[in-house]
Amino acid sequence: MMTSRKLLEQLVAFDTTSRESNLALIDFVCRYLTELGVSYELIHNAERSKANLYARLGPAGRGGVMLSGHSDVVPVDGQNWSVPPFALTEREGKLYGRGTADMKGFIACMLAAVPHFLAQPLAQPLHLAISYDEEVGCLGVRTLLDVLSARPEKPDICIIGEPTELQPVLGHKGKLGVRCEVQGAACHSAWAPLGVNAIEYAAKLIHHLTLTGQRLAAPQYQDARFDPPFTTVQTGVIRGGLALNIVPADCSFDFEVRTLPQDDAQEVVRDLERYAQHELLPQMHAVNRDTTIRFHPLSSYPGLYTAEQSAAARLIARLTGSEAFSTVAFGTEGGLFNQIGIPSVVCGPGSMAQGHKPDEYITLEQLNACDALLRRLAAWMCQPA
């Protein structure tokens, strides 16, 4: 039987940066499950270069618990690693390598626990899910959720194993990324009023977003369970202009909205579109009718907040021995599971303080603690409903 440490060593060796295929890792997991007699199914992307894996074991029927993790990792480009990022290195109880914390450590524990679950008289099924492209907008899991949502035998609870140091997390913000493209009209800068300066109109739009962010930070819109306790709006990328003596014809900028679960990110975009349509475009068209402002979605995922008295929250409290429920600043696939009727919580080994950094690591202590938590889950799942 392979330990979680040994499995993590195998998983880290696969370069599953989001721009790469994850099929080598998925094939390894398939062979591992096959040797244990566990059936599975794969849900590929359109190009068949990546796949989600879904498996279930235990009794047939509805309900049960799902353990879910993503296989992709963030790039190591430009980072100064002191160890090989795609080979596990152990130093003083710490296991270094890309994805050790985020989140191959949890997947390793999940897989190491399969033989134990198989040996138990489970009273409800255990569901396993491994997704792709989480790091680039929770993209891959959506095809898996399309399959699950059409089935009557969905799990009752999902545990997303993102790194929380095994503390029970019930919520996080949602995120929406949007690109705005402003098409102005170029001319020689000596006759600037004859052109439409795309950068200046983009600046007006960005300023409007800044004011929106300030409004949403007002005390009446805050939720102290989150940090920061309000929906945030920020512009992260801007492109435009060719030369100082040319009125720029084009400018684009990317902005994001990170919403409290009860807020609607699309309302921020709709408000900006109204401002563009009613205030800016008439000014632009007064100079040149061919000018435009367009908006294109880049990525999005919903926020998550699972009620403290829900069955999912009570289970994770029981498994962790803690009712100190909290939220995290980063996003997960949990909100997407919630949307198809699978209440989700976030709890996994390691800390996101080590994630996405050079020399990412997880401690052996955290792996062992996660192994113990999954054994407690198996014991709970043997109890009659």
Orientation of helix 105-118 relative to helix 364-381, angle to 10°: 40
Q: Which residues of the chain have pLDDT under 70?
A: 385
Q: What is the C-alpha to C-alpha distance for residues 19 and 16, in angstroms, rounded to an integer?
A: 8
Query: In b/e form, how buried is each residue of 111-138, taking b as 16+ CB within 10 angstroms?
Result: bbbbeebeeeebbbbbbbbbbbbbbebb
User: Which pLDDT score is estimated for 385?
Assistant: 67
| Tokens linked to 190 | 């000596």
Class assignment of domain 4-172+303-381?
A: alpha beta
Query: How much is the pLDDT for 152?
Result: 87
Give me the residue label for tokens 């040149």.
Answer: 288
Q: Does domain 174-301 have CATH number 3.30.70.360?
A: yes
Residues 6+ apart with CB under 8 A from 278: none
- Residues with a known catalytic role: 72, 134
pTM for the whole thing?
0.91
Longest dimension (CA), the chain: 82
Identify the CA nearest to 115 among candidates 124, 102, 104, 126: 126
Question: What residue ranges do the domains of the chain occupy?
Answer: 4-172+303-381, 174-301
Work out the angle at residue 72's Cα, subtended by the Cα atoms of residues 66 and 78, and round it to the nearest 5 degrees.
150
Q: Three-state SS for 299?
A: strand
**How do residues 236-266 score in pLDDT, each as one tens digit?**
999 999 999 999 999 999 999 999 999 999 9
